[in-house]
Chains A and B, each alone.
Chain A
Amino acid sequence: MPQVTLTVNGTSHTVEVEGRTLLVELLREKLRLTGTHVGCDTSQCGACVVHVDGDSVKSCTMLAVQADGAKITTIEGLAKADGTLHPMQEAFREYHALQCGFCTPGMVMSAIDLVQKHPDGLSEKEIREGLEGNLCRCTGYHNIVKAIAAAQDVMHGRRAELAPAAE
């Protein structure tokens, strides 16, 4: 069986997999990192988005063997050791950007990649377009877009703290 060595949230792992094992299966079933969800399993919904070497990818549509040598970040790798949330997670909480929460891990991972790749800032329209690969069936997206808009100011250092959501 092929063996893959990869770094997940800063920890190196060497794992035996099958050729057909998906990256998301490795994360969930071998490493027990179940924060990454499988929604559609057809690379449409984005619930399984993780970062591979700094780029957001759908981990249901990547073989585990293709991640050999890669640095992976999952939703579990965002908060600090003391429990302080990543600004994007904090923004999702503050702006009530979730209801059932199933899409949230993928949504947060995509949003962070989107913001990191646009240091000059994103308009509301650009945020909406940037979320094309993530489906949410509860919120109607409005609060997700507001959360990302607020989080980008903190992530790019334009604000020290998250702007509070309107009452």
Chain B
Amino acid sequence: MYDFAYHKPTSVADAVKILSSDPDARPISGGQTLLPALKHRLNKPSAVVDLSGIAELRGIKRDGDKLVIGALARHGEVANSAEVKAAIPALAQMAGTIGDTQVRNRGTIGGSVSNNDPAADYPSAVLGLGATVVTDKRRIAADDFFQGMFTTALEPGELLVAIEFPIPEKAGYAKMRNPASRYVMAGVFVAKTKSGVRVAVNGAGPCVFRQADMEKALTASWSADAVAGVRQSADGLNGDIHGSAEYRAHLVTVMAKRAVAAAG
């Protein structure tokens, strides 16, 4: 790992000031993605800006019909939060399956969502629930946030502060893991929300995406059988040594059935 300067600001404003003044500075929270990348020298930041001292990025709270989760909430914290379990049990359940215990004790929701790894779990919950990403500058709808592999609407120097999840009537998540790496081969998050049914697919393509045909089928009838006949096209999906695009397309339908069954 190359060396870098280290900053530990105590406010979002100070963090943004450092990140904006130095395009090669990178924010770090849990570091479960950034540190492995730095070890491989895939990235050479001039400075690392540690967000862990910023109190305003913490906290999980219910706010009317929304659940607001601060960027620094660790996966283990979300998985075990009574507030999350009561409001959106599928989100708590998802958080409890990210990585392993030790990764969940460090990794944060803000880091995962900002990174937008195709095989990450959280992006499908954010998109599937139609959440709003709150930054230091603006509010971004999930539909506009995820823009491609490792790419989001966040601008250089812009910091994810919190995510607001509307509380759904029902939601469920199912994924098929790679048996060795345990990363998602294909995952599906389904939700019955006030604004309609939403289905988000992660792991299968280069970026999380909505599955319109499944949304239509579940709007007509909310049942695992309703999505059983909906085929996902393999066009544009990931194909690699772990599985072909066709295999992942098949998994999407299977995971959608399981996710609806899990949602009840």
Contacts and interface: CB of A to CB of B under 8 A. Distances in A.
Interface string B91-105: 000000001111101
A66 B52 contact: yes
B239 to A, nearest CB: 24
Contacts of B32: 43, 61
B182 A132 contact: yes
A20 B31 CA distance: 12
A62 B106 CA distance: 8
A94 interface: no
B50 A65 contact: yes
A20 B3 contact: yes
A133 B4 contact: no
Contacts of B3: 18-20
Interface stretch (A51-59, A95-103, A150-158): A51-59
Contacts of A18: 3
Nearest to A52: B105
B38 interface: yes
Contacts, number: 71
Interface string A81-124: 00000000000000000000000000000100110000000000
Contacts of B106: 57-58, 61-62
Given A61-B32, A62-B106, A63-B6, 9 more contacts: A19-B6, A19-B48, A20-B3, A42-B36, A56-B102, A56-B105, A61-B36, A66-B52, A132-B100
Contacts of A41: 39
A110 B101 contact: yes
- Top 4 A-B residue pairs of the complex, sorted by shortest distance between their CB atoms: A133-B100, A19-B6, A55-B105, A132-B100
A19 B48 CA distance: 8
Interface centre among A42, A56, A63, A132 (most CB of B within 10 A): A63
Interface in A26-80: 41-43, 46, 49, 52, 55-58, 61-63, 65-66, 68
Interface string B30-53: 011001101100000000101010
A61 B35 contact: yes
Interface of B: 1-6, 8, 28, 31-32, 35-36, 38-39, 48, 50, 52, 76, 99-103, 105-106, 182
B102 A20 contact: no
Contacts of B182: 132
Interface in A5-37: 18-20, 22
A22 B1 CA distance: 10
B76 A55 contact: yes
Contact of A19 (B5, B39, B76, B105): B5
A65 B80 CA distance: 27
Nearest to B4: A19
21 contacts: A18-B3, A20-B1, A20-B3, A42-B39, A43-B32, A43-B102, A46-B100, A46-B102, A52-B105, A55-B76, A56-B101, A57-B102, A57-B105, A57-B106, A58-B103, A61-B32, A63-B48, A65-B8, A65-B50, A133-B99, A133-B102
A66 B102 contact: no
Contact of A2 (B6, B35, B105): B6
Contact of A133 (B6, B36, B50, B103): B103
B32 to A, nearest CB: 6
Contacts of B2: 20
Interface centre among B3, B76, B106 (most CB of A within 10 A): B106
Nearest to B38: A20
B102 A63 contact: no
Contacts of A62: 31, 35, 106
B105 to A, nearest CB: 4
Interface centre among B1, B6, B28 (most CB of A within 10 A): B6
Contacts of B31: 61-63, 66
A166 to B, nearest CB: 29
